[in-house]
Amino acid sequence: MAEPELLDLINELTQPIRVDVWQGMTKHVRTDPPLLDQLKAAVSGDLGGGSGASKPARERTPLDITAFTMLEQIDGQVRSWMKEAGEPWAGELRPLLRTWYVVFTRYDRGEDTSRRHFLILARWVAGIRDLIDPPTRYEVTSPCPNCGQVWVTRGNGQDAESVRALWVSWRSLPEDSDATCQGCGKTWRGVSQIRSLRIAIDDAEKLSEPA
């Protein structure tokens, strides 16, 4: 599985997602709603389908504040980007995000700007997935093979703390699992890439051993 490009992240957020589900040796294909639709459903506790608004008030699930806050932040950021670009910013979030991508990629933005926007969208995708399918997270004690960091600092001043740079998040669907370096932002997605991360770590440790 190749490292995602900006358009891959846009597609995950705005288009139906094809998911391969294995039952023994048999593969089934499931189509999930776009991540932004899943986030909207999570706001009203309606991930199982149906319209929460059609239920009696006493039967509705309380508003999920975490999902609501995340959706508001994404919505506000996308509309802010459109306004900065001098483009219309009204309308539904999903088509608006796709329009922003067309506007953003119309010109060469430079590596730093493109990377910054990529990381923002990657955080949205990861945050929605973590909310919908909470992962089991494990810290990796070895240095990141991409940047060499073992620890990173989180927070500022008295709230600052050192945490491991590398973390693996295992999900109910193995191919949705990933490993991420909080130092450089490098992500290994899916079982095959996590396996390649393990190989890279082992190779680096062998090179560091005294002859």
What's the domain count of the chain?
2
Question: What mean pLDDT is predicted for residues 45-56?
Answer: 48
Range with lowest mean pLDDT among 59-73, 78-92, 197-211: 59-73
How far is residue 139's CA from residue 199's CA, in Å, rounded to a whole number? Answer: 17
Q: What is the tens place of the pLDDT at every residue in 36-49?
A: 999 999 998 765 54
Q: Are 125 and 140 found together in one domain? A: no
Q: Decide if pLDDT at 68 tops 80.
A: yes
Residue 189 near residue 129, CB atoms below 8 Å: no
Q: Are 114 and 147 found together in one domain? A: no
The DSSP code for 142 is S
Whole-prediction pTM: 0.66
Q: Are 95 and 159 found together in one domain? A: no
Residue 198 confidence class, pLDDT cut points 50, 70, 90: very high
Residue 159 confidence class, pLDDT cut points 50, 70, 90: confident
> In the prediction, which pLDDT does 56 show?
42
* Among 132, 162, 177, residue at a domain's last position: 132
Produce one character per residue of 120-154: b if its CB has 16 or more CB atoms within 10 Å, e if not.
ebbebbbbbbebbeebeeeebebbbbbeeeeebee
Q: What is the tens place of the pLDDT at every residue in 122-147?
A: 889 989 988 988 889 999 999 999 99
Which structural domain, as residue segments, surrounds residue 64?
1-132
Q: Decide if pLDDT at 83 tops 90.
A: yes
